[in-house]
Amino acid sequence: MAPRSPRGADDVGNGMTEKAENVTRARTKNTNLVAAKAAKNDEFYTQWADIEREINAYLDYDRDVFRDKVVLLPCDDPEWSNFAKFFALHFMDFGLKKLISTSYAPDSNPAKINYQPTLFETEDPKFDATKTRANGKKFILEPDDINGDGVVNIDDLQWEYLEGDGDFRGAEVTALRDEADIVVTNPPFSLFREFLAWVTAADKKVSMIGSENAIAYKHVFQLIKGNKLWKGATANSTDMVFGVPKGTPVKEADRLKAEKLGYPSDDERDYTRLGNSCWFTNIEHGRRHERLQLMTTADNLKFNKKLIATLDGGSTYQQYDNFDAIEVPSAEHRRNPF
Ligand SMILES: C[S@@+](CC[C@H](N)C(=O)[O-])C[C@H]1O[C@@H](n2cnc3c(N)ncnc32)[C@H](O)[C@@H]1O
């Protein structure tokens, strides 16, 4: 009989039994799947109409809001992002000084397991088969009509690989944030808090998409209370539609709603409506200065069934424990005076 290994008969040589290794493999696979699933939830691509509606509201308020400004679009890629396409198209009429867009490395993004570089990249002499997966990219548009066609637009965009993976929290993109005047994006939903903290730490103008639920996050609420952040101009009632990678689970009702709004699935993407998404910004727009028609506290407490249902049997607005604030279920339940 062969002697038993001091580490056990089914030892696979690294101090781990075969059974333990299988468990670890299963766990790793599971962790990867969980990471991929979580990352997929970050892959929501913003539609042109939603960007245009919001940005136009800033321009209606101040037509020079982007003039001579450096705009940074982190978490983007002009090869697929409407943000980059939109700002590149309007580079001249907005009077931009510089447009910078960065993208995140596929190898760092578990949602990009099936990543394939585009012809735009592979046909460029700068193409690098390793860097295309491991590095982020930086795209720059400046007032130089590089191809001499008389306009500055997406065709004049210059690009290069970043040294790192393009994580917005890394030193490279942070330096670009510091260079920028305005940061615009739809950040990964799972990193919303971090993203907002990252932008506000540098005291930049920002316009970003997030979930309405974020209003109740402590940091967000404090910024709103301090008049340092507010909701964007897009009305609460506006449904925002997002493209998602093919096969991402989407609620049927949301898929149908997106289809009804003019976004049927296509070869490249499926689409979904996200009812609770909205814009957060510290850029001025007219909507926030419109006066609201409000009922008195007494009338609200007497007539608003939705509000009364939140009172827990009490006879006045519920007070937050950790904030000097009252719970107001929806805009029409705000009281006059506040
Ligand atoms: C919600 S999607 C929005 C994409 C694009 N901005 C748009 O609106 O269409 C967020 C993007 O951020 C990228 N991303 C995820 N984690 C990131 C990170 N740590 N740093 C930079 N980008 C990241 C993902 O690749 C994803 O495409």
DSSP string for residues in 164-207: S---TTSHHHHHHHHH-SEEEE---GGGHHHHHHHHHHTT-EEE
What average pLDDT does the segment 113-137 reach? 93
Does the pTM exceed 0.75? yes
188 CA from centroid of ligand 1 (Å): 5
5 CA from centroid of ligand 1 (Å): 50
Instruction: Encode pLDDT of 149-184 as tens digits.
Output: 999 999 999 999 999 999 999 999 999 999 999 999
On the question of pLDDT at 130 being above 90, the answer is: yes
Give the mean pLDDT of the chain: 86
Instruction: Encode pLDDT of 97-115 as tens digits.
Output: 999 999 999 999 988 888 8
Higher pLDDT, 174 or 292: 174
Q: Domain map of the chain by residue range?
A: 39-239+275-289, 295-336
Listed in sequence order, the residues at least 6 apart from 123 whose beta carbon sits closer than 8 Å to its beta carbon are none
Q: What Å distances lie between residue 274 and 113, 188, 211, 336, CA to CA?
A: 25, 14, 9, 31
> How far is Cα 30 from Cα 88, in angstroms, rounded to an integer?
41
Q: What is the predicted pLDDT for the residue at 291?
A: 81
Q: Quick check: bond before 337 cis, omega within 30? A: yes
Instruction: Encode pLDDT of 228-244 as tens digits.
Output: 999 999 988 888 999 99
Q: What is the predicted pLDDT for the residue at 216?
A: 87
- Of the listed ranges 110-114, 166-170, 199-203, 254-258, the least confidently predicted one is 110-114
12 CA from centroid of ligand 1 (Å): 40
Q: What is the predicted pLDDT for the residue at 283?
A: 98
- Closest alpha carbon to 57 in 222, 230, 259: 230
| Second CATH level (architecture) for the domain 39-239+275-289 | 3-Layer(aba) Sandwich (3.40)
Higher pLDDT, 201 or 19: 201
Q: What is the predicted pLDDT for the residue at 267?
A: 92
| Ligand 1, atom nearest to 80 Cα | 9
| DSSP label of 265 | -
Residue-wise over 276-296: b if at least 16 C-beta within 10 A, else e?
A: ebbbbbbbbbeeeeeeeebbe
44 CA from centroid of ligand 1 (Å): 8
Q: What is the predicted pLDDT for the residue at 27?
A: 52
Residue with tokens 């305005």: 182
Query: Probe ligand 1: pick from 45, 73, 75, max atoms within 8 Å of CB?
Result: 75
Residue 274 φ then ψ, to 5°: -115, 105
Please give the single-letter amino acid code of residue 141.
L
H runs (alpha helix) in the chain = 18-40, 48-61, 82-89, 91-94, 119-122, 131-134, 171-179, 192-201, 218-225, 252-260, 297-303, 305-309
Residues framing ligand 1 (Cβ under 6 A): 42-46, 74-76, 81-83, 104, 109, 166-168, 185-189, 191
> How far is Cα 62 from Cα 56, in angstroms, rounded to an integer?
10
Higher pLDDT, 43 or 142: 142
pLDDT band at 332 (very low <50, low <70, confident <90, very high): low
SS3 label, residue 71: strand
Q: Using CA atoms in the order 312, 315, 320, 321, what is the torsion angle rounded to 10 degrees?
A: -80
- Of the listed ranges 18-22, 157-161, 248-252, 284-288, the least confidently predicted one is 18-22
7 CA from centroid of ligand 1 (Å): 46
